[in-house]
Amino acid sequence: MSSAQKCRQLTLAILKPHITKVPHVFQNVRNCIIDNGFQVVQSTRTTLSKHQAAAFYSEHQSRFFYNRLITFMCSGPSEVYILAREDAIKKWRDLMGPTKVYQAVYSAQGTLRADYGLTDTRNATHGSDSEVSARKEISIFFPSFNYDKWVNEEEPLFRSGKVVFDEKNFVHYILKSQVLQ
């Protein structure tokens, strides 16, 4: 398979509450996603409950910042996306920059966290760190999404460009003519 035909990988992306509250920043981040070749497979806006946030961030439960992180993530709406592209996990993590905002500002200028992160908790974005994490995290926010079905049936259509971008809903749809074939 040539690089032009390489399969799309999925990752989960979250734009945190302080990003969604500032319209021009929110739009800049969304533009950055599209400008960097990502396709948006599904999109939702949600305000996490404490239960949802606790389940999502359970791996950090023993960390000193856990309560601050949970409180922040429940403080307002977040945008959550399933993103697709070649090497999506790595590319999204590169675009986000280091988790620690201070480090991002000094070593990764131009990344989302360097440009829009405020603190290590309010670091603008989240992204899956592996395919295993992506599957788990996607299932939390999009419980009816069938990961394997997407890989087997829809990914080839995304890869071949048989999708259209709906800017208003910030999602790519498979062209109806392709569904009938």
Tell me whether residue 65 is annotated as binding.
yes
Q: Does the annotation mark 172 as catalytic?
A: no
Rounded to whole angstroms, how far apart are CA atoms 104 and 123?
Answer: 10
Tell me whether residue 93 is annotated as binding.
yes
Collapse the DSSP code of 25 into the 3-class scheme (helix H, G, I; strand E, B; otherwise coil) and give the result.
helix
Rounded to whole angstroms, how far apart are CA atoms 5 and 36?
Answer: 18
Helix and strand numbers, DSSP H then E, in the chain: 11, 6
Which among 24, 60, 126, 172 is annotated as catalytic? 126
Tell me whether residue 91 is annotated as binding.
no
Question: Which residue is listed with tokens 């800049």?
Answer: 28
Tell me whether residue 135 is annotated as binding.
no
Rounded to whole angstroms, how far apart are CA atoms 94 and 168?
Answer: 26
Spatial neighbors of 112 by CB under 8 A, at least 6 apart, are 29, 32, 95, 96, 97, 124, 125
Tell me whether residue 16 is annotated as binding.
yes
CB 100 within 8 A of CB 109: no
Binding residues: 16, 65, 93, 99, 113, 123
**Which residues does the annotation mark as catalytic?**
126
Binding residues for ATP: 16, 65, 93, 99, 113, 123
